[in-house]
Amino acid sequence: MERIEQGLRLLVVSGDSGRGAVKRGRRTKMGNHEQFISDEELKRTRRKEKLKELVDSKGEKQEVANEPLHVSDADFNDIVNKNTLTLIDFWASWCGPCRVLAPTIEELAKDYAGRVLVGKLNVDENPTTAERFQVFSIPTVLIMKKGKEVDRIVGCVPKDNIEAALKKHLG
């Protein structure tokens, strides 16, 4: 039995006892089979598919992105390890200096497309990575080379300062 409620599908699964258990999620097609997966699993699957599209499996070729990639705790390691040079902006929506720096980060993504992967990590939504790299003040920009932090810029700084740090590591 199946019914639609508020845009979500509710699947009622009957057991031997005749009582039904209700699960929230989406019905998806996998080849010739139909499968019921939770919304959270669907989000993870879509995130993994997007990551595969953005990062070459061998790590030799970087994706050409004209805008910053939104990075999360779940995909941070894959992104920084599979790209030669990565710039990650640690930010939060309530942070005034972060909002001032945002257009600069977007410009850098366009200017360095194909050479540097530019990403943004929201520290409120992804506290684990922020804690791991001891990001105590935002905005903080990390420059990662082959998965290792090689430079850090704290605060709202001019585009030239960030470009100078990038150029040091592009060589």
Query: For the chain, percent helix, then strand, then coil, each to nearest 5?
Result: 35, 35, 35
Which CATH number applies to 58-170? 3.40.30.10
Contact at 8 Å (CB) between 121 and 89? Answer: yes
Contact at 8 Å (CB) between 105 and 161? Answer: no
Least confident of 30-34, 94-98, 138-142, 163-167: 30-34
pTM above 0.95, yes or no: no
Long-range Cβ contacts of 107-110 (<8 Å, 24+ apart)? 107/159, 108/159, 108/162, 108/163, 108/166, 109/65, 109/66, 109/67, 109/68, 110/66, 110/67
- Which residues belong to the active site? 95, 98
Domains of the chain, by residue range, sit at 2-37, 58-170
Q: Is residue 145 helix, strand or coil?
A: strand
List, for residues 80-96, the tens digit of each pLDDT value: 999 999 999 999 999 99
- State the Cα–Cα distance between residues 86 and 71, nearest whole angstrom: 11
DSSP code at position 130: H
Sign of the alpha-carbon dihedral angle for 76, 80, 92, 107: negative
Q: Which of 11-25, 32-46, 84-98 has the highest mean pLDDT?
A: 84-98
